[in-house]
Amino acid sequence: MTPYFNKRTDQYGGSLENRLRLTLEVLQHIRSKVGKDFPILIRISGDEYLPGGRTLQESISIAPFLVKAGVDAIHVSAGTSTASWIGVAPTGSSQAPNAPLAEAIRKNVSVPIICVGRITLPWVAENVLATGKADMVALGRALLADPEWPNKAVKGDWEAIAPCIGDSMCIARLGVHQNVACLINPVAGREEKVAFPPSPTSKKKILVVGGGPAGLEAAWTAASRGHRVTLLEKTSKLGGQLLMASFPPMKQEYVWAIQYLATKVYRAGVGVELNREATPQLIKEYQPDTLILATGGIPLIPKDIPGINGKNVMPAWDVLAGKLFPGPQVLVVGAGKVGCETADYLSHIVDDLHPMGNRITIMEMQDHVVLDDLTPWRTVLIQRLKSKGVRIINQAKVTEILTDGVKYVRDGKNEELRGMNHVVLAMGTRSNNVLADQLKGLSIPTYVIGDAKEPRKALEAISEGWEIGQKV
């Protein structure tokens, strides 16, 4: 139906009537087979948001033809496969972004209209219905995160709903032929394979070290099975790197995941001790039956680069956490997700050369940026960097950090970049497993999970925490 793709010159292309022809013929054929009392629903994009694509006005014109052909309800989405970041709205997108599209189409047809897209909170769903924007709402990713979403919403226990934070790994995994999975729901995609163990006959005293996603998941899961669990976190806040991930623009929904995990921890009766750094001596004093180390990761700082310890060098984590504040001219070394989100965080809101706005440059060894995230968020992030005028230098390897820039090699040539106030390092993560090494001689069953075992994504960390919590 879209002129963006349909370039036919026969009776199935060109005019709106011709582009509708195939869809209407299919609908009429289906109706002839299923009879009058069998419901037929159709999902369309209210607006494709592509130059040359189908607009809302055209979708409004199309809707009555669909109804006449036998459609009993219209399911309104947006975007196309070419604009997947619109159809699968990522984290930071507005809630129910397709509601205005659904409302406009609803005014022109008599059949029920279903609104879909980034409806993750009960009050948002209720608002879409109460304000007449749609007759029904559809939940997709929200139900992967929590299949009990509707039941918990009815009870008013919204805190217990596992939140969809829109990271869209569930969708991205399908594109690389992996099973569906969910960051916040470790059972999603493997429901038939998971065998929940019976409640343990003996209640253990379990000590969890680290309040990041892996530690939180392990703690509440173990406690829900009847164990006495204590969690130690050396900082004043729970969340670990998941909290840091919420600092860049549009990433605030990651806080929901932390709030949910913390709620599960406290409801399960886990004893949480903040500002409590675990030491070998302290662990011996606790005398746990089982020890779970979820001490996370720390920034990877290569030692072989001259000048890497200079006063003008800052770890990206400290910048995102607001511990350090770089000057107006900043070079970010590393264009993975952390590096590009740090650049987004530091750069001015638009590329308007504001006198007080930072000018950001990113330097990356690879041919492309954000290769560690192939979700729709990657597209949104790159578009934001471009709109802000962030300069990206690819295929460049830093060989030395100077007081005002760097030396680097690109295409076999030695080059320099000068005039930088600060150099921000986003060169990866390494495991923080010092405590695990110190406890190797301890005769306590010990599990090392999350980034402390191997730097990975939060999805893997939470899944591993859940598996250990079920196992102990």
Within 10 A of 368 (CB to CB), how many other CB atoms are there?
A: 12
pTM summary value: 0.93
**Into which CATH architecture does domain 313-427 fall?**
3-Layer(bba) Sandwich (3.50)
**Into which CATH architecture does domain 16-138 fall?**
Alpha-Beta Barrel (3.20)
pLDDT tens by residue, the chain, 472 residues? 999 999 999 999 999 999 999 999 999 999 999 999 999 999 999 999 999 999 999 999 999 999 999 999 999 999 988 877 788 888 989 999 999 999 999 999 999 999 999 999 999 999 999 999 999 999 999 999 999 999 999 999 999 999 999 998 898 888 888 899 999 999 999 999 888 888 888 899 999 999 999 999 999 999 999 999 999 999 999 999 999 999 999 999 999 999 999 999 999 999 999 999 999 999 999 999 999 999 999 999 999 999 999 999 999 999 999 999 999 999 999 999 999 999 999 998 777 767 777 899 999 999 999 999 988 899 999 999 999 999 999 999 999 999 999 999 999 999 999 999 999 999 999 999 899 989 987 889 999 999 999 999 999 999 999 999 999 9
**Domain segments of the chain as ranges:** 16-138, 205-298+431-471, 313-427
Fold of 205-298+431-471: Rossmann fold (3.40.50)
Q: In what order do the strands lie in the sheet with 359-363?
A: 313-315, 422-425, 329-333, 359-363, 391-393
The letter for the amino acid at 137 is V
Distance CA 20, CA 26 (A): 10
Distance CA 268, CA 261 (A): 11
Within 10 A of 310 (CB to CB), how many other CB atoms are there?
A: 13
342: its two tokens = 């740090």
76 near 102, Cβ under 8 Å? yes
Residue bearing tokens 């009429």 = 28
